[in-house]
Each structure stands twice: as structure tokens, then as C-alpha cells.
Amino acid sequence: MSDEIKAPTTPDSGELSRRRFFVKVGMTSIAVAAAGTGVFAYQFLSPNVLYEPSPVVNAGKPDRYPPDSVTLDPETAIYVVRDPEGYFALSATCTHLGCLTAFKQELGIIACPCHGSKFNRDGVKIAGPAPKPLPWLRMWLNDDGELMVDRSNSIATKQLVRV
Ligand code: FES
């Protein structure tokens, strides 16, 4: 006779571990599906907004611009032009295919490096394929005496800001 003590076995102990395995697989699948649904629901409910910088630019104090000058701000793509009578703003984006133009001090013109359009300092086209002049942009003085330019608001006629 053997004195060996055997652990009690249940007839379906193998069945139980298999059941636990499938329960875990099932729960994991449900959790993954719920997480995926949550991500898609969040994307669906979030506003589909493109965040862009404000079109209104603070161009600073008027006295930072030398008399009779055309100053390009490449970050905002605007020119601040100081005439003897006042200030005005032009878009620096070429009206042909949208390249950033540059002011040529020695020639006194605004030139586009892409296809050769040229504009005078009022934005009027003098050469090249650009179909329209450079747009004039609305400009005003804020309460602190700084020049403000609205890049989203072009104006039909040149308006000078007098300081
Ligand atoms: S983009 Fe300026 S001339 Fe073509």
C-alpha cells in the first residue's frame, strides 16, 4: 500500500483553466473594443478646428519705421510702408502663386523671386504674371499708439494712418 497522498482533483480542473483563459481573452477583446470606441467617439465629438495665428498683427510703434521706408515682416508676410503723408500696409504675398515678395531698396520696387512679378511700393503691378496688385490691408492705431494690421481684411482703396 502506498502512503502517497494525492491532491484532490476535480474532474473538470483542466476545463476551468481553459474557461478562465477564454474569459480573459473575451474581457481583453471587450476592453480593446471599448477603448477604440472611446477614441473614435472623442474624435467625433471634438470640434474639427484648425488653429491658426490671429490675422491681426501688432506692427509696433510708428517711429520704428524710418521715413520713406518699406519694411517687410517675413513672419506675417506684410509690408509696412511709411510715406511722407502716413503709414499703410500691404500684403507681401504675390498674387500670382503666393510666393513671399521682397522689397528691392536699390530699385525701389517689390519683386517676386518665383516668376519675376514686380510691384511698385503702392503694390501696383508693373511687370510679370501676377494678375492683381498686392492687396492693401486695413491698418489702424490701437489705444497704445501702435500700428495694427488685419491680414484678413484687404481694402479697396489706399487708406493712410496719420500719426
Ligand atoms: S508667384 Fe510671384 S510671380 Fe509667380
3-state secondary structure 23-56: HHHHHHHHHHHHHHHHHHHHHHHCCCCCCCCCCE
How confident is the model over 92-105, as a mean pLDDT? 97
Single pTM value for the model: 0.71
Q: Is the pLDDT of residue 13 over 60?
A: no
Q: How confident is the model at residue 1 (pLDDT cuts 50, 70, 90)?
A: very low
- Report the nearest atom of ligand 1 relative to the CA of 97: 1
Q: Give the Å distance between the CA of 78 and the centre of ligand 1.
A: 16
CA dist., res. 85 & res. 71, Å (int): 16
Q: Are 84 and 67 in contact, with CB atoms under 8 Å apart?
A: yes
Which pLDDT score is estimated for 91?
96
Q: Is the pLDDT of residue 7 over 70?
A: no
CA dist., res. 46 & res. 34, Å (int): 18
- Residue 16 sits at the vertex; the CA angle it makes with 12 and 23, to the nearest 5 degrees, is 155
Q: How confident is the model at residue 4 (pLDDT cuts 50, 70, 90)?
A: low
Q: Give the Å distance between the CA of 75 and the centre of ligand 1.
A: 18
